[in-house]
Structure 1
């Protein structure tokens, strides 16, 4: 057999291996959202590598918003309970430039069976148990977002309308604290639509008013999809903002 036909071994750089080990600890809940992780020196001793290797691994995890560096304090697991992270996945912003603070009103929270479409996105089987939530979010006293949310019934056992209504922080922070589920990334599909009667009613608009439809699938560690969120935005006084690097 010639060299050209020999299988080629694939090796990842050492810092990538350390990154994978740290990520495995995050996935195993060794360090929970908001917790400080061990120092670079401690991790270097733990993995028998240099601090520089650990630092590069942490830099990459911080760039992916999985870890947060705090000057003089250390490195922490990212959490949606912090003010700066509450709207991490929300790209809606007021035209006025005001600080955004949305007020939620949960309308329904029911157990149902996953449709083939929902099951496919959440990597479930059609007919598996899911939780379906409807909510309206308002800004400055005006409803501007209507959302439908689907969650795996197995992962979010016991979640009901009373629990959602009693929770006063971001929903993703509820997922973290009560269900040990941390959202680490999301994918979105966006299109322009016209308000039907249901949307017009919830958002106090005329039927046919223009809306922005945003369907999001959010993932936790291990690239596991755990939430579908279909939002319709009234962008008459808001805009969708995304920064591209």
Structure 2
């Protein structure tokens, strides 16, 4: 691989309309290396939790400097695709690690350290995708989806009520029985058995009040204030693979996000 930046065509519509020659867009070399490493992650060359080659080995493989590789890995680490461990090397991120679960679970206790929730499945079935869910998952209305409804409790107190929709074609072998017997994080199950990692998510948050059904399940009075969070999670290639709608009880918790 050449160490010179790759020149990509500029698809700017305004430039094309005037008949002028498109201006070249330059991709920095470290971004090219980052894309190649990401491709290897996506293809499964290095599995979640595995050690990836050292910076020196990757520099030799791609015929670039170690500094270029380091900059690429810096960005991958910042995006939580890999994890650096002092004295051990760089590992593929996995949802089996505590840090991964708390990365997506943003509800924190007002006092004390974050705890792992106890999960109770209320409903699990396959059904046809409603139009709004299909749009968010980039599938057709009526396509098969896996639907889950579950409660997450902290110290025995129901705290999060959520509904999840997963594309049926991607998670074809996900049975209701498997969901019911699995006790770990849902994302860890999807990673282990289907090779699907959640890379990033987009959330919409607003304040609502509990209707009767929600209030009963969360053991709250009718019209109790709740935090409503709708999440769309994406895997490699920016492919949406989950829609999640959650209701958070914030009597003893708060939603925390760190902005950089």
When normalised by structure 1's length, the TM-score is: 0.96
RMSD of aligned residue pairs (Cα, Å): 1.2
Q: Write the distance in 1 (CA, Å) between the matches of 2:212 and 2:147.
A: 20
- 1:21 maps onto 2:36 in alignment: yes
Name which of 107, 121, 128 aligns with 1:106.
121
Alpha-carbon shift at residue 242 of structure 1 (Å): 1.1
User: Which residue of structure 2 aligns with residue 199 of structure 1?
Assistant: 214
Larger displacement relative to structure 2 (90-99 or 41-50)? 90-99
Tell me if 1:88 matches 2:109.
no
SS in 2 for 1:20: helix
Deviations 1:54-86 (A, max 9, x none): 111011100111111111111001111012222
Q: Does 1:6 align with 2:21?
A: yes
CA–CA distance in structure 1, aligned partners of residues 91 and 148 of structure 2:
31
Partner of 2:259: 244
Q: 1:98 to 1:57 in 2, by over 3 A?
A: closer
| Corresponding position of 1:180 | 195
Alignment partner of 1:85: what SS? Answer: helix
Residues 1:35 and 2:50 are matched in the alignment:
yes
For 2:101 and 2:200, the matched residues in 1 are separated by 14
For the pair 1:139 / 2:154, whether they are aligned, the reply is yes
Corresponding residue of 2:67: 52
- Listed as ranges, the matches of 1:228-239 within 5 Å are 228-239=243-254
Superposed CA offset, 1:111-153 (max 9, x none): 1111111111001011110011000000011001100000000
Distance in 1 (CA, whole Å) between partners of 2:223 and 2:83 is 43
**2:176 corresponds to:** 161
Which of 79, 95, 101 is the aligned partner of 2:94?
79
CA distance in 2, matches of 1:144, 1:86: 16
Structure 1 residue matching 2:214: 3-state secondary structure: helix
**RCO higher in 1 or 2 (8 Å CA, sep ≥ 6)?**
1
2:35 is paired with a residue of what secondary structure?
helix
Q: Give the deviation of 1:168 after TM superposition.
A: 2.0
Q: Which moved further from structure 2: 81-90 or 195-204?
A: 81-90
SS of residue paired to 1:58: helix
How many corresponding residue pairs? 242
Long gaps (5+) in structure 1: none
Unpaired runs of at least 5, structure 2: 1-18
Alignment of 1:210-229 (within 5 A): 210-229=225-244
1:200 and 1:161 map into 2 onto residues whose CA distance is 25
Distance 2:222 2:173 in 1: 36
* 1:96 shift after superposition: 1.4
Q: CA deviation at 1:186?
A: 0.3
